[in-house]
Amino acid sequence: MSIVSPTAGFPPTYSVVTFNAGAEIYAPGDKAGTFYQVEFGAVRVHRLLSDGRRQVIAFHLAGETFGFEADRTHSFFAEAITQTGLRAISRPANGEASPELLTLALRGMLRAHEHIMMIGRQTAVERISGFLVDMADRQGGIEYFDLPMSRLDIADYLGLTIETVSRVFAKLRSAGLIKLRSIRCVELKKLETLRSLCA
Amino acid sequence: MSIVSPTAGFPPTYSVVTFNAGAEIYAPGDKAGTFYQVEFGAVRVHRLLSDGRRQVIAFHLAGETFGFEADRTHSFFAEAITQTGLRAISRPANGEASPELLTLALRGMLRAHEHIMMIGRQTAVERISGFLVDMADRQGGIEYFDLPMSRLDIADYLGLTIETVSRVFAKLRSAGLIKLRSIRCVELKKLETLRSLCA
DNA sequence: CGGCTGATTGAGTAACCTCAAAATTTGTGG
DNA sequence: CCACAAATTTTGAGGTTACTCAATCAGCCG
């Protein structure tokens, strides 16, 4: 990782740091207190069980914010998925809580709750459809986009296996709902049908 | 619901309101902005899919706090499970964000993330074990306690069916790890073994 | 005691997982 | 630019967990 440039925007000024694909941003036990805004690229936050099972808690795309924790130390891993620029923002040392940070925390909680709903009660097709629609919405409702993450990342995010993810992609493709322009570029051909599939 | 008594503790003074078992505290679309501390009883927060599938997002026991939302309106249902007393606390109108509220939000997010991990990557036995250990820990590490919620509530919280919950209880019982003093009263006979089962 | 609700148990099934192999893509060096 | 190796993704076959449907059982209340 390397410092690219100091950039204004948040008071005071914070610099943007670049991480290579796969680079660790923080790990469980690391000191928390700083949070991050994604300038470009994508981040994956995850946790491991003792036997290696992995759950991806969240993906964070350009413009999104992550890294706030309840405790002094982090409980999860955060890694850059592709080459990623992050603006690090320190929490005010005086213990003050900005309304912005609270809003971000509450939005994060809402996202987490919707994630629980999805993996607790939806089928594989519903989860993948929901995931794709969410990715499109978060990038401004575009109809095609690159997936920065691997099939394994998607599987671990949705509580599925890589094979099931692959099979559901194939199913949605053969139903004409999506098109795979390349292995990582998805086009949502029938967005409204996909939306209705999320139940 | 009825006002029981105004109680000091939070500045300014807020009164405790009692809800009967099953009573609705708020529903999706209701105006948010107030949050609640459980004085006694237990609360369930959940959401429904269009076809009736239900996901319980969280249970809240005595002493715990819930109800903060990112938006102006609630996105979930909150209901009293048993007769429950709640202290309603309004968010400061001046837009100020108290550090306490931020801490509560961050703790809520951590809980949600652990919930995601559990239902995304753990087996039925691991989920039930984790649930029971969590219930014990949240009540001060006691070894037996009443479950305020039904088997259906537990199933909908853990992303399982009522039958699977029942079967796993039977399995843990016949393995000598728990004892069912009554249908709603669980005794954790081997807490450390249960803890190790959560992976 | 009968009727109701909630919980348990049983039998069969379906969705998703596991293991294995083939196909495709990506990266590297010449 | 091509060839080869490594990594990722897809596809296939079979297995397992948890689900569905159904019946029985237990507790509760009038």
- Is the CB of A182 within 7 Å of strand C? yes
Question: Of A70, A76, A112, which is closest to B103 when you measure between CB atoms?
Answer: A70
CB-CB contact of A134 with A144 (8 Å) = no
pLDDT band at residue B9 using 50, 70 and 90 as cut-offs: very low
| 3-class SS shares of chain A: helix, strand, coil, % to 5 | 35, 30, 35
Q: Which residue is nearest to nucleotide C19 (CA to C1')?
A: A163
Residue of chain B nearest A94, judged by CA positions = B99
Q: Residue B162 phi/psi, 5° resolution?
A: -60, -40
The pTM for the full model equals 0.93
CA of A196 to C1' of D26 (A): 42
CA dist., res. B148 & res. B131, Å (int): 13
Between B168 and A8, the more confident residue is B168
CB-CB contact of B64 with B46 (8 Å) = no
Residue B191 has pLDDT above 90, yes or no: yes
CA dist., res. B145 & res. B155, Å (int): 19
Task: Spell out the alpha helix ranges (H) of chain A.
Answer: 99-121, 124-138, 151-158, 162-174, 191-197
The chain B residues in contact with chain A (CB within 8 A) are: 47, 49-51, 53-55, 57, 68-71, 75-76, 95-99, 101-103, 105-110, 112-113, 115-117, 119-122, 156, 158-159, 199
Residue A97 has pLDDT above 80, yes or no: no
* Chain A window 11-70, residues with Cβ within 7 A of nucleic strand D: none
- Is the CB of A161 within 7 Å of strand C? yes
CB-CB contact of B47 with B54 (8 Å) = yes
- Is the CB of B123 within 7 Å of strand D? yes
Considering A3-12, A177-186, B90-99, the range whose residues carry the highest mean pLDDT is: A177-186
- Write the pLDDT tens digit of every residue in B50-101: 999 999 999 999 999 999 999 999 999 999 999 999 999 987 655 566 788 8
Residues of A within 8 A of B109 (CB-CB) are 68, 70, 105, 108-109, 112
Residue A83 has pLDDT above 90, yes or no: yes
- What does the pLDDT read at residue B93? 59
